[in-house]
Every structure is written in C-alpha cells, then in structure tokens.
Structure 1
Amino acid sequence: MTSVTAPEIRLMSGALGVEIRGIDLNALTDEQFALIHDRLLRHQVVFLPGQQDLTPEAHIAFGRRFGEVELHPYLPRMPDHPEIVLIDSEEGAKVDIWHTDMTFHESPPIASILHLVELPSAGGDTMWSNQHLVYEALSAPLRDLLDGLTAIHTIRVGTEFSSRAEHPVVRVHPETGRRSLYVNRLFTSHIPQLSRNESDALLEYLFRFSESPQFTCRYRWQPGDVAMWDNRATQHYAVNDYQERRRGQRITVLGDHPTGNPPRWEHYRPVPGERYWPDRVNAVEDY
C-alpha cells in the first residue's frame, strides 16, 4: 500500500493567512478540497505553494468547486480560457490601493484564486487585511452606528459610471455568521445616510483603521504559488516596489448578495446648493 503524506499546514500571521503544502491542484481530491475550504473560512486566505505545473483547466475546475466562475467585464483574459484574467505589471496591473474585489457589483465575488507565474527578483509581495478583526476591534458605540448604515460602491469607465451598488457597511458572512467591515478605499464612494462631510470623515477613519498592520499578513511569492482569498471578509494590497515583470492568472468566483442589518435611517437629503456627491470614485484603469 502506498502511503499518502498529509498536507503541511502553517499559519502566516496572527491575523489571517494559512499556507498548505503537499497539495497538487491538478489532482485535487474531495478531502483536500474540504481542507482548503475549511481553512479559508478559518483564516480568510489560503496559500498553496508549488503549483508551477497548474493547468488552466485545473485552475478553472478548482474555482468551480466554490461556485460559478466569472467572465470579468474589464480586465484582459486568456484567449482560450476566458474565465482566467491575465494580471501583468507591464500592462498596468499594479493595484497598490487597499481594496476588496468588485464591490461595485450587486453580487460581488466571494473569492479570488491567483496563480503567479512570473515574479521580479525582489519585491511584488501582496498584503491582506482581516475585516472580521477590524470590525471586532471597533468600540461598541461605533459598531452600533455602523450596523445601521449602508455604503455606495462605484466604478467609472472614463467619465461614465458603469456600475453602482449599495451594500451594508457591516456584512454578515453567509457561511460563518461572523461580521466584518465592508468598505474599501478603491470602490466605496460614500455613506448615503450621512452628509458628505460626515461620510468623508467616517470613511477615512475606517479606511485607515482597516489598513492597520495588526490586522494584516504579507506574502512573499515564489513562481507557481497560488493564493485564494475570501472577498467577503478581506481587503488586499499589491506592493508596488519592483520594476521587473510580474505576471499572474486569476480566477474569480461569482458571489452572493451582501447582507447585514437593515439601514436604520433614510438617505441624507442635501439642502439646496449643498455639494454632496463625493469625488472619491476611481476609473477602471486604476483597478
């Protein structure tokens, strides 16, 4: 009888992230998938090193175990496998702003699966932030306020708004029931129950707090590594500290509708002449 070596599991930080070695995604078993799924819910990000030979078919099949795979509306895709988005630093794919993927959709993706195939000799790390811990670290009065608010998330192509969604500021994870802060610097425009000044001030505080080091992990990639993260409970940031090429292939798993407490107040109504609509809206080329 051939012995099977159990996967090696290592925590990556005190806040989030777990590395699992000894799994080949080209030959993923149901038991191994269950392990990855369980650790994703526990630790929000799962790293799977040593996937240099990962095929596009296996990458897509892995994503489909979690749900429907998205055909991204804006980013370049692999010609023979349109489910796979091509991430290439030479094509401007350097998103050095903390964000959660595509929150401007009514149903944002539940997860992303990134396979890095080419890396600079140094630099190009990615950071993630645990938004469960961020919410839980806020004071009780502030959590109570946020639980009754929503936020508008937008993206713009050129001068035209192409997508806009309203989500709870605090969302409840559909699988664990755990609450997390659900606003991000790249796509969150404003909190519609507040005046512009109030919204800008509160969001800036939340952005800064959610990006604090104690809530993060940082991963130093090696060629062939795969990372999967839970978009329902994390933000991430690609560190732009390199000049050489960095290329990856990403699968995005389509999402569910974010849920949380219903808003406790109506949308704010500006007085005549009041400048209300915020300027914090990013063009797609920034994404």
Structure 2
Amino acid sequence: MTVSASTLFDVQPVTGALGARIFGVDLENLTDEGFAELHRLLLQHLVIFLPGQTGLSPQAHIGFAARLGDVELHPYLPRLEGHPEIVVIDSEAGGKVDIWHTDMTFHDHPPLASILQIVTCPPSGGDTIWTNQYLAYEQLSTPMRELLDGLTAVHMIRIGTEFSSRAEHPVVRVHPETGRRSLYVNRLFTSHIPQLTRNESDALLDFLFTFAEQPQFMCRYAWNEGDIAVWDNRVTMHYAVNDYDRPRRGQRVTVLADTPTGNPPRWPHYQAPPGQRYWPTRVNAVENY
C-alpha cells in the first residue's frame, strides 16, 4: 500500500494491507477541505479510524455521512430514538456479528460506506477486523481471476424462516471511484454462484472465503470509547471479534451506493438435467442478521 502524506491531518497506517488512524479531525466543525481530505484517505486506506470523537452529536454523525451520499434507513436493526438514520448495535441485544461479511450485499444497491462510533466498550476485547478485497483478488492466479471475472453470485438474507431479500452481483466488482477490481463474496450473505452446480459453487466459495480471510489482507482495531471507524463497504469485509462479556454498544450510519458493476457473466445460469434435483442455496450462509 502506497502511503501519501496529508497536509491537514496526522495519518498513521495500521497495517501494510489497509487501515489508518487519522488524528486532528473535528467532525463537529469539518470544513469542505477537511472532508475532501478524509474522502481521499478513505479511498487510499479503505478503513480510517478517528480516535477521540467523544461527544459527537447525532447531527454531526449524520451530516458527515450525508456528505458521502444518501443516508440509509436500515429495515431491520434498532435505531437511535429521534434519529432514525443511526442504527444502534448493542451486544446485550444480539448485536454481535462474528462472521465475515460485507454489509447488506443482499440488496441491489449495497452500502457505499459505514460510519460506526463505539460509545460503550468492554475494558478488553471486542476488536473489529477488516480485510482488503483488492488484495484478495489481485493475489489470486491469473486463470482464477479470469474465471471469477465471468461469474456472478447470489446474496440473500433470511429473517426468521423467510428469505426476505435477494440480489445477484458480480463475483469481482469494479470500484466506481478507483477503477480497481476486488473480490465481492462473503460468508454471511453469499448463497451460491448460479452459473455452477451446487457442489462446484460450494467448493469455489469455500476456497474464496478462506483465501480472503488470510492475515496478510487484514487490519485489527482495538476500540476506545468515542472512536469512529469509516470503511469503504465496496472493497472490504469485516468481523466483530466476540471475546468479551461486558457491554459493547455502537452507533452506525450507513451510506447508500449504486449497483455493483463488473464484467458481464460469460455463462448462463446452470440448469439441472431433467429428473435431477438442484438445491443452489447455502443454508449456512444465510443467517438471521
């Protein structure tokens, strides 16, 4: 990862793969110049951490997100009273997602970014890990990249016993701002690759999940109360480490994006021969969220 200096903020990279702590940011009074610099740093580092933002008002939290794009109203998760744009993630109310995922890929238009502030954290544990999906794609072999560039994947979510949302996206998406390609599948929501048989799809997805979760693609962040993380949801996965038994509470605003794009599929959806049953959906990849 090439690191360029910032003329406005103190930038400290977290790992060689992705992530940077940004010091000197005042989100309550962020200028247009300051926002433009944070946007540049987000595209460069994929996830940026803004320590010490204790006391940030809901209006400033929402306002910063709105500068990135349209703010989403999450259809399933609890929201902060009086501020429906802010989702409350509470470990005491089921807010532990210790499965690798990219947010809401089951939508036709998954989020561009998330802005999460931890307002209560345990004295130890409760870190979050992110992966760089550019690197995961770029370090695959040329034949594997060529295969994946011609495939799509179906993403789903199940609420209770019903499949409530479903979308099909390229397995490799092209970032709309940088033009780089990245791997775009995840354990929580990716169900199957429709161009392949069930067994082929399961085997390929299992390989891609495991490959993308290697340590060289990761950064891990230990939270302090008030810290904010902003991540590019188009090119990262994340995992909330469940190694604590004290309350952990966060407030998150999500920014909407456009439809993921990549190469068109090179093959049609697989059709089972007459008399052969075909069950494409990976049940264990579609969990309550």
The answer to whether TM tops 0.5 is yes
User: Any runs of at least 4 consecutive aligned residues in structure 1 with deviations exceeding 4 A, and if so which?
Assistant: none
Deviation at 1:6, TM superposition (A): 4.0
Q: What is the aligned-residue identity percentage? A: 67
1:147-226 correspondence to structure 2 within 5 Å:
147-226=149-228
2:278 to 250, 275, 279: 275
Structure 2: which 5+ residue stretches go unaligned? 1-6
Q: Which amino acid aligns with 1:123?
A: G
Equivalent position of 2:90 in the other structure: 88
Counterpart-to-counterpart distance in 1, 2:177 and 2:262: 13
The 3-state SS of whatever aligns with 2:211 is helix
The 3-state SS of whatever aligns with 2:284 is coil
Q: Which amino acid aligns with 2:165?
A: S
Counterpart-to-counterpart distance in 2, 1:97 and 1:281: 10
The 3-state SS of whatever aligns with 1:161 is strand
Deviation at 1:31, TM superposition (A): 1.3
Q: Which amino acid aligns with 1:201?
A: A
Counterpart-to-counterpart distance in 2, 1:247 and 1:190: 33
Q: Which amino acid aligns with 2:151?
A: L
TM-score by length of 1: 0.96
The 3-state SS of whatever aligns with 2:116 is strand
Please tell me whether the aligned partners of residues 137 and 182 of structure 2 are also in contact (alpha carbons under 8 angstroms): yes
Please tell me whether the aligned partners of residues 18 and 45 of structure 1 are also in contact (alpha carbons under 8 angstroms): yes
Please tell me whether the aligned partners of residues 157 and 166 of structure 2 are also in contact (alpha carbons under 8 angstroms): yes
Equivalent position of 1:49 in the other structure: 51
Equivalent position of 2:4 in the other structure: none
Please tell me whether the aligned partners of residues 8 and 34 of structure 2 are also in contact (alpha carbons under 8 angstroms): no
Deviation at 1:26, TM superposition (A): 0.7
Counterpart-to-counterpart distance in 2, 1:140 and 1:113: 35
Equivalent position of 1:58 in the other structure: 60
Q: Which amino acid aligns with 1:277?
A: P
The 3-state SS of whatever aligns with 1:280 is helix
Equivalent position of 1:7 in the other structure: 9
Q: Which amino acid aligns with 1:44?
A: L
Alpha-carbon deviations, 1:128-159, whole Å to 9, x = none?
Answer: 00000000000000000000000000001111
Please tell me whether the aligned partners of residues 173 and 233 of structure 1 are also in contact (alpha carbons under 8 angstroms): yes
Counterpart-to-counterpart distance in 1, 2:202 and 2:218: 24
Equivalent position of 1:76 in the other structure: 78
Cα RMSD for the two superposed structures: 1.0
Equivalent position of 2:240 in the other structure: 238
Instruction: Choose 20-29 or 99-108, whichever is displaced more.
Output: 20-29
Please tell me whether the aligned partners of residues 100 and 235 of structure 1 are also in contact (alpha carbons under 8 angstroms): yes
Please tell me whether the aligned partners of residues 46 and 236 of structure 2 are also in contact (alpha carbons under 8 angstroms): yes
Q: Which amino acid aligns with 1:228?
A: V
Counterpart-to-counterpart distance in 2, 1:170 and 1:127: 21
Please tell me whether the aligned partners of residues 186 and 237 of structure 2 are also in contact (alpha carbons under 8 angstroms): yes
TM-score by length of 2: 0.96
Counterpart-to-counterpart distance in 2, 1:122 and 1:217: 17
The 3-state SS of whatever aligns with 2:62 is helix
Please tell me whether the aligned partners of residues 197 and 280 of structure 2 are also in contact (alpha carbons under 8 angstroms): no
Please tell me whether the aligned partners of residues 114 and 251 of structure 1 are also in contact (alpha carbons under 8 angstroms): yes
Alpha-carbon deviations, 1:146-195, whole Å to 9, x = none?
Answer: 00000000001111111000000000000000000000000000000000
Please tell me whether the aligned partners of residues 63 and 251 of structure 1 are also in contact (alpha carbons under 8 angstroms): yes
1:137 to 119, 136, 139: 139
Structure 1: which 5+ residue stretches go unaligned? none
Counterpart-to-counterpart distance in 1, 2:113 and 2:224: 21
The 3-state SS of whatever aligns with 1:141 is helix
Deviation at 1:273, TM superposition (A): 2.9
